[in-house]
Structure 1
Amino acid sequence: MKNWKKNAALFLSGQALSIFGSLVVQHAIGWHIVLKSQSGALMTFYVLAAFLPMFLISPFGGIWADRFNRKHLINLADGSVALASLIVAILLMFGFDHYGILLFCSSVRALGQGIQMPAVGAFIPQIVPAQQLTRVNGLQSAIQSFSTLTAPLLAGTLMSVAPLEILFFLDVSTAALSIGILYFGVKTPRQSQANTPIQHSVSGYFSDLKAGLQYIWKHAFVFELIILAAIFTFCMSPAGFLTPLQTARNFGSEVWRLSAIEITFSAGTLLGGILISVWGGFKRKTATMALSCAVFGSLTIGLGLAGNFPLYVALMAAMGLVVPLYNTPVMVLLQTNVEAAYMGRVMSVFLMLGSALMPLSMLIFGPLADTVKIDFLLIGTGLVMALLAIPYLASKKLRAAG
């Protein structure tokens, strides 16, 4: 691929701007609702607005990523989200500060992500050589982690000194820069298309979705990978969502403690993204995934056993470090083995898992946390995640795929 380094650098730079602006607004919406309403019901509506539309649209997002120009699709999704932010910013300027407006904006943002993320996952192998995918995906993970680390700091600072609409205008600006970089700067080769005629009817969309699911079913390694990733995603939810509550119960409810675990985890993922980008992982990607499962599971068990806060924070940082060592080889294994014409639909299934399984698991683990100590939930789910290393190493089909 000619000039792939330039294309990859421009693409990642543009996406970094888009992600950063989106995260700033995401934190601003959530914090504004919490601080102004202090309502658990409104927070529930906010979570539903942020996840449910993504889950519903992502199958179609995958189909569109396989049918249409992914570059234009990414920009269209980014532009739609920016337009929603612009409308909200203008409404806020004129005093229309209503929760419904913010929830609507969250829903539009979720729809945009559900379209954009499968397209991004399918677009990267279109511009990056297969042997460089691990490093590029690792670098993308590091960039996302850096945004996750810095966006809440900027959001908190701006919210304390400026009106809320300023943060929405910031999102519009970063999206405009991202769209311009991708449209004018990134040159793309011809996109592979599925060997089936495009049907623009509703039945045609469901036929395409069915074809994508059949592709997953017929390719055993993809099916096995999705099942294992689903189990891992389900089991990591307590570590992702219940650790703030565990911290408050076990060590104290001071705000600085919650900030400490969030910042150290994000810093760990940043370092992990850099590590996998430089190192590239083991030659066999399933070995890297098995190691990360074993380590992440063991660290989760450690959270359930930690008796002091400094140790707890150190474990959170180490867990953050391991996350890219799992996510990156999973993504690369798909990008190097799935046919380009089906890439978007397979990516959308992974996105559906992430947007559905973690909230679904919290419907189970959330109420359990009020009757069972969170320590025990972490120990149990940590053990399951650690044991996932066995099928990753034992599966002949996964080992054959990479």
Structure 2
Amino acid sequence: METIPRPPSASREANANGHPLPLRWKRTIAIIWTGQADSILATIAATFAVLWHITATADSALMLSAAGIASLLPVALLSPLGGVAADRFNKRHVMIAADGIAGAFSLALAVAVGLGFSSMLLLLSLLAARATAQAFHGPSLMALMPELVPERDMVRINTLDQTLSSGSAIIGPAVGIALYTAWGFSAVLVMDALCAALACLCLAVARLPYARSDAPSSAGVTADLRDGAAAIAHDRPVAALLVMVMLAMLLFLPLGTLSPLMTYDWFGGGGFAASLVEAAAGIGLLVGSVAMLAWGGGKRLVGVLAVAGALIGAGCIVCGLLPRDAFPVYVALIGLVFAATAAFNAPVIPLMQKRVPAEKFGRVMGLFGSLSTLASPVGLAIAGPAAEALGVNRWFIVCGALLVVAMIVASASCSLRSLDEGA
């Protein structure tokens, strides 16, 4: 009797890199992001508690500026090394080490504060340690994403991470200040350490058959960095995408920093009014992320980027044109602008995944993240004097107009359009 060959199992679909997915891959997603959600929330709560502690004990703009640098600079400088680590080593181990070290720093600082040893240097060290951990954790997670889901769900998995971050940005500060007020600074740090431990546990038990790197070891870290830079420089569509993202960061992100000044100087609002704007931004980001999570982005992701970027620019123009008595309209517009920001962010990793080989994805995303992050302080260096000279409302108009023009030019770029065609 002839044996009929068994057809391949329909449930064994391929991930975005073409490898067979585990049968219960959705459970793996749930396990990993349960740990990530708790860790992100605790990190935001602890960071806010640190900033509030600095405000309450030092009352120094200089120290708050130093805290901002400690939170940003390690990510910008060390992300390329984090990308190399993602390509060289087991991504699960890199993320566990990053979360574990950051949690250990929080626990050690909690003990020090409990014993009465607290200094600005210790607080800045915690922020720098957190940022350093993110520089290694982020590229590994981004490099692992294509191994976790089918290609059709790449936008959704990227948006899920953004949704968790935006949701945590809304409630994290409230959690941090509530614990700080009720039980003290040490309690917030202990919660941060416990949530980091939970994230490590979730990563440890999740089934990740493709977390280990199969790429051959290169001659050294410098060679890996050169290889990642060459992968960007020699691929015109990827280089064009990087320029597009950097322009958006250069023009838009400084406006977020100037938003409190817009509230105070143009609309005459105080601290409560500024907090309403921050809440509207967080809610807008969350709503936009949920919408992208449900939709998936469709097949023309470059079009989504260009339209979302143009909407951000148009929103900034309208914000700058508002009269002084239109603060409620400004709050609503900020919510819409940040909803568009969520739509702009979601397609970036899926577009990169189509072009960059899996064995180089970590180092390329590390360099990509580093360069786009560095665009923000450059934009701030320009925006501060420019806003002083023109007025903050007029600077909103200028940046918004430049962003709209940049998105129109980008949408006409053959190199960028080829990303949607898989060319």
TM category, shorter: over 0.9
The alignment status of 1:182 with 2:168, answered yes or no, reads no
Name the counterpart of 1:309. 327
Kept in 2: contact 1:117–1:351 (CA 8 A): no
Name the counterpart of 1:355. 373
**Cα gap change, 1:72 to 1:105, in 2 (>3 Å):** same
The alignment status of 1:57 with 2:78, answered yes or no, reads yes
The alignment status of 1:30 with 2:15, answered yes or no, reads no
Kept in 1: contact 2:317–2:397 (CA 8 A): yes
Measure, in 2, the Cα distance between the counterparts of 1:150 and 1:142.
13
Measure, in 2, the Cα distance between the counterparts of 1:346 and 1:197.
16
The alignment status of 1:278 with 2:299, answered yes or no, reads no
Measure, in 2, the Cα distance between the counterparts of 1:105 and 1:85.
7
Which one-letter code corresponds to 2:93 in the other structure?
H
Which one is further off, 137-146 or 321-330? Answer: 137-146
Name the counterpart of 1:198. 218
Name the counterpart of 1:334. 352
Which one-letter code corresponds to 2:302 in the other structure?
T
Measure, in 1, the Cα distance between the counterparts of 2:202 and 2:40.
14
The alignment status of 1:300 with 2:321, answered yes or no, reads no
- The number of equivalent residue pairs is 397
Measure, in 1, the Cα distance between the counterparts of 2:392 and 2:207.
47
Cα deviation, residue 193, structure 1:
3.5
The alignment status of 1:151 with 2:181, answered yes or no, reads no
Match of 2:275 among 259, 262, 271: 259
Cα deviation, residue 388, structure 1:
2.4
The alignment status of 1:344 with 2:362, answered yes or no, reads yes
Cα deviation, residue 343, structure 1:
0.6
Measure, in 2, the Cα distance between the counterparts of 1:52 and 1:190.
28
Match runs of 1:48-197 below 5 Å:
48-189=69-210, 191-194=212-215, 196-197=216-217
Name the counterpart of 1:382. 400
Which one-letter code corresponds to 1:185 in the other structure?
A
Could you report, residue by residue, the CA deviation over 1:282-314 in whole angstroms, capped at 9, with x for unpaired residues?
421011111101101000111111221100000
Bigger Rg, which one:
2
Name the counterpart of 1:9. 30
Measure, in 2, the Cα distance between the counterparts of 1:336 and 1:12.
23
SS in 1 for 2:210: coil
Kept in 2: contact 1:304–1:379 (CA 8 A): yes
Kept in 1: contact 2:306–2:411 (CA 8 A): yes
Which one-letter code corresponds to 1:153 in the other structure?
A
SS in 2 for 1:23: helix
Measure, in 2, the Cα distance between the counterparts of 1:57 and 1:383.
33
SS in 2 for 1:371: helix
Could you report, residue by residue, the CA deviation over 1:47-93 in whole angstroms, capped at 9, with x for unpaired residues?
22111222221111110101111111011101010011011000000
Kept in 2: contact 1:140–1:273 (CA 8 A): no
Cα deviation, residue 190, structure 1:
5.8
Query: Stretches of 4+ moved more than 3 A in 1?
Result: 190-194, 196-199
Kept in 1: contact 2:263–2:270 (CA 8 A): no
Cα deviation, residue 191, structure 1:
4.2
SS in 1 for 2:366: helix
Kept in 1: contact 2:91–2:211 (CA 8 A): no
Identity %: 30
Kept in 2: contact 1:268–1:319 (CA 8 A): yes
Cα deviation, residue 355, structure 1:
3.0
Cα deviation, residue 128, structure 1:
1.3
**Cα gap change, 1:354 to 1:32, in 2 (>3 Å):** farther
In structure 1, stretches of 5+ residues that fail to align are: none
Kept in 2: contact 1:192–1:340 (CA 8 A): no
Greater per-residue helix proportion: 1
Measure, in 2, the Cα distance between the counterparts of 1:92 and 1:253.
36
In structure 2, stretches of 5+ residues that fail to align are: 1-20
Match of 1:239 among 233, 243, 255: 255
SS in 2 for 1:283: coil
Cα deviation, residue 370, structure 1:
2.7
Measure, in 2, the Cα distance between the counterparts of 1:18 and 1:5.
20
Name the counterpart of 1:218. 234
The alignment status of 1:365 with 2:386, answered yes or no, reads no
Could you report, residue by residue, the CA deviation over 1:32-61 in whole angstroms, capped at 9, with x for unpaired residues?
112221212112211221112222211111
Kept in 2: contact 1:24–1:151 (CA 8 A): yes
CA RMSD, 1 decimal:
1.4
Cα deviation, residue 385, structure 1:
1.2
Could you report, residue by residue, the CA deviation over 1:105-155 in whole angstroms, capped at 9, with x for unpaired residues?
111111111111111111111111111111121222111111111101111
Which one is further off, 324-333 or 387-396? Answer: 387-396
Name the counterpart of 2:224. 208
Which one-letter code corresponds to 2:322 in the other structure?
A
Measure, in 2, the Cα distance between the counterparts of 1:327 and 1:242.
21
Measure, in 2, the Cα distance between the counterparts of 1:192 and 1:74.
14
